[in-house]
Amino acid sequence: MSELTRIPAPDGVFPAAQYSHVVMGTGRLVAVAGQVAVDEDGKPVGEGDPEAQARQVFENLRRCLAAAGASFDDVVKLTYFVTDMAHMPAIRAARAEHIPDDRLPAASAVQVAALVRPEFLLEVEALAVLAE
């Protein structure tokens, strides 16, 4: 695990409640492609259910990070793509199962018209930094 420095509220910037404005680390960069709600057999999970989809997405992220020797402790940035911003509470709840409030990464959330398949409500990608 890389030593990460989190700056939730730089001087002159309004404090963030659900993310850190700045996260710094040194080491190897791990980029995890956007994950959607499919199980290990490629079957969609939770059609129409943002909570079920968010849980599956974060499980997929966890597995991808583990494959690179990383964990959510190493994540410096999450990017959320959602078809409806009303899904953000479900996403935050799923994130909270993996990342405590005192270790929040930097984050961006973008509402999109559609994702790769119509049944997907969200997609999340991650950047992590591992110690060299």
3-state secondary structure of 111: strand
pLDDT tens digits in sequence order for the chain, 132 residues long: 568 888 888 888 888 778 888 888 788 999 999 999 999 999 999 999 999 999 999 999 999 999 999 999 999 999 999 999 999 999 999 999 999 999 999 999 999 999 999 999 999 999 999 987
Which superfamily is assigned to 20-130 in CATH? Answer: RutC-like (3.30.1330.40)
Domain spans of the chain, in order of start: 20-130
Phi and psi at 85, nearest 5°, equal -60, -15
Structure tokens at 53: 């989809």
Q: Name the token pair of 118.
A: 């119509």
Alpha-carbon distance 76 to 117, whole Å?
27
pTM listed for this prediction? 0.89
List, in order, residues 6 or more apart from 96 with CB less than 8 Å away.
none
